[in-house]
Amino acid sequence: MKLLVLGLNHKTAPVDIRERLAFGPDIIAGALRDLTGCDGVLEGVILSTCNRTELYCAIEDGAEETLRHWLSGFHGIEHERVDPFLYAHADRSAVVHLLRVSSGLDSLVLGEPQILGQVKTAYQTANDCSATGKLLGRLFQHTFSVSKTVRTETAIGANPVSVAFAAVNLARQIFSDLSKQTALLIGAGETIELAARHLHNNGIGRIIVANRTVERAHDLAAQFEGFAISLTEIANHLPEADIVIASTASPLPVLGKGTVERALKKRKHRPIFMVDIAVPRDIEPEVGELSDVYLYTVDDLKSVIDESLRSRQAAAVQAEEIIDFHSGEFMAWLRSLDAAGLIQDYRQRSEELRDEVLARAQRQLDAGKSPTEVLNFLAHTLTNKLLHAPSSRLRQAARDGDAVILDAANELFQLAPDRLQSNS
């Protein structure tokens, strides 16, 4: 069994590719069933965020190509269109990758904390769908523990640096005084909640929260003295908005060019600052063509984010050291599974030999031989049978000069090396 990660992220693929390969919450369960139904795929977890889509799988040898074609085929995209953007990590490299992702070292924003919650949700969803087993179960539990260690033992999470923070920081650069501005937040998830908190802390004049579930929008808006609307009411309130930040799980845009054009006319073409954090995108890309709109996507925020990352670089080095150590721990556990199987097979074979010799000894007792004679036969015969295969292999290793086998035998049987060589 082999551990494999296959995916793409903000470093390898542009947003238009990432959004086409995203797995929304409404399709994730069906996708997991389809994934683990593929030949050679034994376990699977799908992680899909605005910055990445990744498959974490336990597979049989040769199943990597199956995964590559499944990912593109599930979304109805030509394999050749997707494959150049994909990366793959196997075994220890896969473990290191997941630990880096969960610790925020592979994020657009170094050390951002939201990704760990997203990884936990991805694993829980796969677990609920019976898509995980012993290997991925152990891997993800190990990951959650190591990520906690990274957070507590380094300063990787120091200073507020996140996509939401970057969006608000950019808004502050555009509007020097946020107290006179109105912000329309589309969505009610963790990123939007962070954006609302940063806006509130920076003295935003007014907050409007739009969400598919109005009750959830009310709960969020109430925390920041804002008010809530449904997604269908966005067009009526958009002319009031100076700042728009969108992050929903909608598979299609919730804000189109025509709606924005009509809002701009009512605003007498006062500009609107927009940030689309969602993947797939919530705001039609064509909106960015309008002269009075400043539209940014998650990819555009990178330069803003880079300015806030200086203090986290040293912490990242510490985090890498922790990850390197703990990835080795996991691989040691994984290797122990192979040893456990080998030990079980060897024990079963030894018991078969024991039963065979014991039956022969019992027949000799039944035939009237003395117990002493039968015990000597039992001990001699069983010892010969148990040692026959290892002895033959050691003699062959000595003839071939195979020092690896000889040294391993020395360690295993605690023999003196010179005795092992001379007896061969």
User: How far apart, in whole angstroms, are the C-alpha atoms of residue 147 and residue 154?
Assistant: 11
Confidence of residue 173 (pLDDT cuts 50, 70, 90): confident
**What is the model's pLDDT at position 301?**
82
- What pLDDT score does 424 carry? 45
pLDDT class for 418, splitting at 50, 70, 90? Answer: low
313 annotated as belonging to a binding site for a ligand? no
pLDDT (0 to 100) of residue 338: 67
The maximal CA–CA distance of the chain, rounded, in angstroms, is 114
272 marked as part of a ligand binding site: no
How much is the pTM? 0.66
| Cβ pair 386, 412 in contact under 8 A | no
Once rounded to an integer, what is the mean pLDDT over residues 64-81?
Answer: 96
**38 in a known ligand binding site:** no
What was the pLDDT predicted at 322?
A: 94
Summarised one tens digit per residue, pLDDT across range 292-325 is 999 999 888 877 677 666 667 778 888 999 999 9
Q: Read off the pLDDT of each residue in 240-261 and give the average, rounded to a whole number.
A: 95
In order of start, what are the domains of the chain with their CATH numbers?
A: 2-158 (3.30.460.30), 163-306 (3.40.50.720), 336-413 (no CATH)
Ligand-binding annotation for 51, yes or no, is yes
d(C-alpha 120, C-alpha 117), whole Å: 5
- Is there a binding annotation on residue 112? yes
Q: How far apart are CA 346 and CA 328, in angstroms?
A: 27
How far apart are alpha carbons 302 and 108 in whole angstroms?
7
50 is known to lie in a ligand binding site: yes
| Token pair of 421 as six digits | 């060589």
Q: Is residue 137 packed enough to be buried (19+ CB in 10 Å), middle (13-18) or exposed (0-12)?
A: middle
Active site residues: 50
Is 401 part of any known ligand binding site? no
Structure tokens at 43: 């376990």
Q: Which strands form 87-90's sheet, in the order they lie side by side?
A: 41-48, 52-59, 2-9, 87-90
Beta bridge partners of 59: 2, 41
43 a known binding residue? Answer: no
Query: Is 114 annotated in some ligand binding site?
Result: yes
Handedness of CA 26, 29, 34, 35 (dihedral sign): positive
| Amino acid 420: pLDDT | 47
For residue 178, give Cα distances in angstroms to 182, 205, 241, 399: 8, 6, 12, 82
Burial profile 36-67: b = 16 or more Cβ within 10 angstroms, e = fewer: bebebbbbbbbbbbbbbbbbbbbbeeebbebb
Predicted confidence (pLDDT) at residue 226 exceeds the cutoff of 60: yes
Least confident residue range of 53-67, 235-249, 289-303: 289-303
Tens of pLDDT, residues 137-170: 999 999 999 999 998 898 887 665 678 888 898 8
